[in-house]
């Protein structure tokens, strides 16, 4: 089918057509894809405006009890030096986020039961009380009661990527967790009134265009408020060390398709994309993305939050990230929301 026609149909209301998604996901020529990126950028402008939203992320523990095949934090990676931030350190990092005039804090970690329900609730209450920040949590699968307690303590949002929508691929990548449970968690989070984020990796081994089309349809059917879409990057200390990374182009295509099929969703330009390409962030912001997540983890810990290689090669000092971003955005007529 004609590319322009596919883009036009996907930009309309109604359920996205499978054939259109596949046709666009199968293209590999950047020039040919321009109508898609342009349509996504236009839609982003119409629905979300010119502001770029900021989320300050604090990665408070790199301990994890899981063994997701792709992730450098997996428990079986014995070469990684582990850390846990104290309550004081986490609160100080939150105060730095507040001082930088970033309105939302994202607290992320591996699945680490050291931080039990009580400990986390006290921490959330304290951060909320002292900073008034919007609090997003991203710490994996927990029982419904935990999500409920965190919500009562003051958490507003939760990020739990579905990672891949394809059951067989999900099983292969997650020896110790089940897709059904992850989707159940997402359902609980919505029921409890969290603004809920999901998302996927792009370029996972064995993930074809049909698999990515499934991801886009799942994000749409979950009615997610946010979707994290970034390339898969092989980590040397994981079983996927020798696999090929996802590409910038395919990641941008998925971002653009998510923008067209879920016009009001929040879409971050991910750090993983900046690792693949020095202009990854601006490319994402021109293909549908409207969120940036500067990293406020103290530098000594940041380098140990080693999900995928190359993170340290990206300049990550949050204040310089904000300054660069501001000048990049000014050049294209967009502004930071502060
Ligand atoms: N433990 C929580 C969880 O899994 O939801 C939150 C932290 S986890 C490190 C955050 C995200 O990192 C995951 O959702 C996954 O998509 C991403 N990630 C992990 N390893 C990756 C890799 N090798 N390449 C790209 N993204 C990766
Ligand atoms: Fe743990 Fe999350 Fe990494 Fe899986 S993706 S190993 S749950 S930190």
- Residue pair 257/24 in contact (Cβ under 8 Å)? The answer is yes
Q: Where are the domains of the chain?
A: 46-332
Which atom of ligand 1 approaches the CA of 66 most closely? 1
- The second-level CATH assignment, the architecture, of 46-332 is Alpha-Beta Barrel (3.20)
pLDDT in tens, 101-119: 999 999 999 999 999 999 9
pLDDT at 119: 98
Q: DSSP letters along 149-183, please? A: HHHHHT--EEE---B-S-HHHHHHH-TT--HHHHH
Helix (H, G, I), strand (E, B) or coil at 2: coil
The helix or strand, by DSSP H or E, that contains position 285, with its residue range, turns out to be: helix 280-285
pLDDT at 333: 85
Ligand 2 centre distance from Cα of residue 244 (Å): 20
* Residues of the chain below pLDDT 50: none
Q: Is the Cβ atom of 228 under 6 angstroms away from ligand 2?
A: no
Please compute Rg for the chain using Cα positions: 19
Q: Is the Cβ atom of 74 under 6 angstroms away from ligand 2?
A: yes
pLDDT at 69: 98
Ligand 1 centre distance from Cα of residue 71 (Å): 6
Which atom of ligand 1 approaches the CA of 159 most closely? 5
ipTM, 2 dp = 0.99
Supply φ then ψ for residue 262, to 5 degrees.
-130, 75
pLDDT at 312: 74
Helix axes 34-48, 248-261, angle to 10 degrees: 50
């Amino acid at each position: 089918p004609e590319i322009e026609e596919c883009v036009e149909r996907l930009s309309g209301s109604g359920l996205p057509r499978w054939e259109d998604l596949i046709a666009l996901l199968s293209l590999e020529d950047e020039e040919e894809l321009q109508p898609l990126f342009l349509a996504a950028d236009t839609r982003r402008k119409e629905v979300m405006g010119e502001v770029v939203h900021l989320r300050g992320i604090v990665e408070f523990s790199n301990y994890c009890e899981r063994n997701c095949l792709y992730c450098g934090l997996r428990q079986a990676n014995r070469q990684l030096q582990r850390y846990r931030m104290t309550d004081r350190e986490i609160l100080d990092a939150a105060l730095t986020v507040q001082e930088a005039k970033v309105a939302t804090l994202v607290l992320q970690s591996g699945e680490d039961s050291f931080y039990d329900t009580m400990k986390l609730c006290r921490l959330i209450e304290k951060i909320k009380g002292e900073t008034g920040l919007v609090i997003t949590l991203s710490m994996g699968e927990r029982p419904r009661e935990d999500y409920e307690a965190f919500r009562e303590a003051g958490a507003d949002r939760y990020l739990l990527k579905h990672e891949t929508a394809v059951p067989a691929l999900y099983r292969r990548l997650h020896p110790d967790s089940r897709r059904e449970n992850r989707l159940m968690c997402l359902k609980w989070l919505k029921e409890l009134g969290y603004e809920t984020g999901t998302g996927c990796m792009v370029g996972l081994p064995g993930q074809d265009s049909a698999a990515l089309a499934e991801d886009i349809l799942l994000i749409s059917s979950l009615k997610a408020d946010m979707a994290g879409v970034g390339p898969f990057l092989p980590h040397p200390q994981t079983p996927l060390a020798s696999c090929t990374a996802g590409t910038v182009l395919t990641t941008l295509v998925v971002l653009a398709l998510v923008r067209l099929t879920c016009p009001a969703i929040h879409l971050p330009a991910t750090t993983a994309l900046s690792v693949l390409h020095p202009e990854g962030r601006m490319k994402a912001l021109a293909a549908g993305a409207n969120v940036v997540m500067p990293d406020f983890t103290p530098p000594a810990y940041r380098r140990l939050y080693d999900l995928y290689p190359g993170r340290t090669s990206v300049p990550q000092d949050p204040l310089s990230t904000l300054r660069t971003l501001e000048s990049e955005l000014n050049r294209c007529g967009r502004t930071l929301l502060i």
